[in-house]
Amino acid sequence: KAGVTQTPRYLIKTRGQQVTLSCSPISGHRSVSWYQQTPGQGLQFLFEYFSETQRNKGNFPGRFSGRQFSNSRSEMNVSTLELGDSALYLCASSAGDPEYNEQFFGPGTRLTVL
């Protein structure tokens, strides 16, 4: 089975621009979660989707949004980029209920905001 894939792997943007990141979960997985990883803040939860419904949202501003499609693929969007948005964005999928099932992580998208 193919693992979680994220595209693009690397991205360079300038302040004020917007960006869309894509995540394809493992086949059959219906749950997708997104995390932001930075050296200063560590791993922070962004969103959790299950069967196209957003179940949880982390403490991030409204500039961060996401969605999940009927094929379980997910996208997250960041508008009006700020320097502090530079980070590794990780997507994870899980089979069944993500509350007690392990998550499988993709390699991440490294976003650099100049």
Partner 1 sequence: AQSVAQPEDQVNVAEGNPLTVKCTYSVSGNPYLFWYVQYPNRGLQFLLKYITGDNLVKGSYGFEAEFNKSQTSFHLKKPSALVSDSALYFCAVRDWSAGNMLTFGGGTRLMVKP
From the CB of 74, what's the least distance to partner 1, in Å?
15
Is the Cβ–Cβ distance between 72 and 32 less than 8 Å?
A: yes
Task: Measure the CA–CA gap between 100 and 113, rounded to whole angstroms.
Answer: 35
64-68, strands of its sheet edge to edge: 5-7, 19-24, 74-78, 64-68
Binding residues (CB under 8 A) for partner 1: these are: 4, 33, 35, 42-45, 48, 55-58, 90, 92, 98-100, 102-108
Nearer to partner 1, 31 or 72 (CB): 31
Nearer to partner 1, 12 or 43 (CB): 43
